[in-house]
Amino acid sequence: MFDDVRAFIRNLYPEKDFIALHEPYFAGNEKKYVLDCIDSTYVSSVGKYVDRFEQMMADFTGAKYAIATMNGTAALHVALMLVGVGREDEVITQPLTFVATCNAIAYVGAKPVFVDVDRDTLGMSAQSLKDFLHQHAVLRDGACWNRISGKKISAVLPMHTFGHPCRIDEIAALCEEYKIPLVEDSAESLGSYYKGVHTGRFGKVGVMSFNGNKTITTGGGGIVITDDPVLAKRAKHMTTTSKRPHPYEYVHDEVGYNYRLPNINAALGCAQLESLPLILQNKRELAKKYQVFFLKHEIKFVSEPSNAQSNFWLNAILLADETQRNSFLEETNSHKVMTRPVWKLMNRLEMYKDCFCMPLVNSEWIEERLVNIPSSCFFQSS
């Protein structure tokens, strides 16, 4: 039934037998920098590549500070601690996300509150957030409280789904109005911009991931970006076991975390960042090819939202209904073309099923129909 789709995808990756959803692309200085690390013996928690990677990330995103971590989930955990999310607090997020978003909220002892997403951006709906705040929020002592649950609302955590920026300026304005810190889960959106500003830069803190399946990879890795020097300093401190600088003494002044990115991972990251413009350009071309193809075949392709420049991390299509989605998944995967449904909504998972939800009409609509299709750079030779 979807023979033509399969043939089209196969044609994009002619040298592949099994076509993965997203493979890393190594064509630059990756081997050179990693070997340099090994030769220097500085493979672990100190070394020049970590500093260099952080500087490159700050330069690329336009953020004043960037603090590398061992993965994106750790970066999210740190970000929520930085803005002061405490136990029993509430953090507003979206149910259509990867589980790490909610897990980070749980790590600090807070609870997710789910507002809906928009159908065009797949990210947090500013309207649903506004409705929630109108119905629940009160300002007291310079903070925002949920007058129904009695809990403090201590962060809003939107996610830029598959690299498509959500309406982040409207969300930022609501956060401003209600005095709630904004943290962006921009794990998927390195190289994505909203109204010309890099995602992750609209709130107090932004977070990115460099896991093996993301736009660029450090093997495992993440980053916290911020313009606030105090938060930046705290982030570095917390992620390095809260050790006070001293020539030889071990003094740790609070419970810290060993969340640093090892130098060998940062070395890989530096090389990957050098290739990022090329990767982004390739992924944009790929998305264009898909868009033209699916338009002809009357399947809805998820295209770039207005006011936004997407990195097109994972391309996605929307099938007519769940039955068609399932046959698409069945047919492509059984023919070694990897496709995946969107994540099961967070409010359906055992550990988050009791969390408060706004009406989730769009999230549910997307959950039934969306499929991710192969999105690796298409010029690679195996």
Ligand X SMILES: *Cc1c(COP(=O)(O)O)cnc(C)c1O
Residue closest to ligand X (Cβ): 72
Give the separation between CA 377 and CA 285, rounded to whole angstroms.
9
Give 45-111 as a DSSP string: S-SHHHHHHHHHHHHHHT-SEEEEESSHHHHHHHHHHHTT--TT-EEEE-SSS-HHHHHHHHHTT-E
Nearer to ligand X, 187 or 232 (CB): 187
Rule CB under 6 A: say whether 47 interacts with ligand X: no
Q: How far is the CB of 159 from ligand X (least distance, A)?
A: 5
Under the criterion CB under 6 A, does residue 332 sit at the interface with ligand X? Answer: no
Q: Which is nearer to ligand X, 101 or 375 (CB)?
A: 101
Residue 216 or 286 with smaller CB distance to ligand X: 216
State in angstroms the smallest separation of the CB of 207 from ligand X: 7
By the 8 A CB rule, do 162 and 372 touch? yes
Q: How far is the CB of 220 from ligand X (least distance, A)?
A: 6
Q: Between β-strands 308-309 and 300-301, what pairing exists: parallel, antiparallel or unpaired? A: unpaired
Cα–Cα dist 163/188, whole Å = 5
Applying the rule CB under 6 A, the residues between 219 and 238 that interact with ligand X are 222
232 vs 247: CA distance, rounded Å = 22
CA atoms within 13 A on the CB side of 98: 18
Q: What mask of x and - would describe binding to ligand X in positions 95 to 124, judged by CB under 6 A?
A: --xx-xx-----------------------
The number of residues that bind ligand X (CB under 6 A) is: 15
Angle formed at CA 8 by CA 163 and CA 119, multiple of 5 degrees: 35
Sheet of 65-69: strands edge to edge?
A: 65-69, 222-226, 205-209, 183-185
Least Cβ distance, residue 96 to ligand X (angstroms): 10
The smaller minimum CB distance to ligand X, of residues 124 and 231, is found at: 124
319 burial via Cβ count (<10 Å: 0-12, 13-18, 19+)? buried
178-217 positions binding ligand X, by CB under 6 A: 185, 187-188, 209, 211
Rounded Cα gap, residues 2 and 6, in angstroms: 6
Residues 72, 123, 305, 374: which binds ligand X (CB under 6 A)?
72
The span of 41-49, 65-73, 234-242, 294-302 binding ligand X (CB under 6 A) equals: 65-73
Q: Which amino acid is at 301?
A: F
Q: Which stretch binds ligand X (CB under 6 A): 72-80, 147-155, 258-266, 267-275?
A: 72-80
Residues 151-170 that bind ligand X (CB under 6 A): 159
Q: What whole-number distance in Å separates Cα of residue 218 and Cα of residue 133?
A: 38
Nearer to ligand X, 164 or 369 (CB): 164
Q: Which residues bind ligand X (CB under 6 A)?
A: 71-73, 76, 97-98, 100-101, 159, 185, 187-188, 209, 211, 222
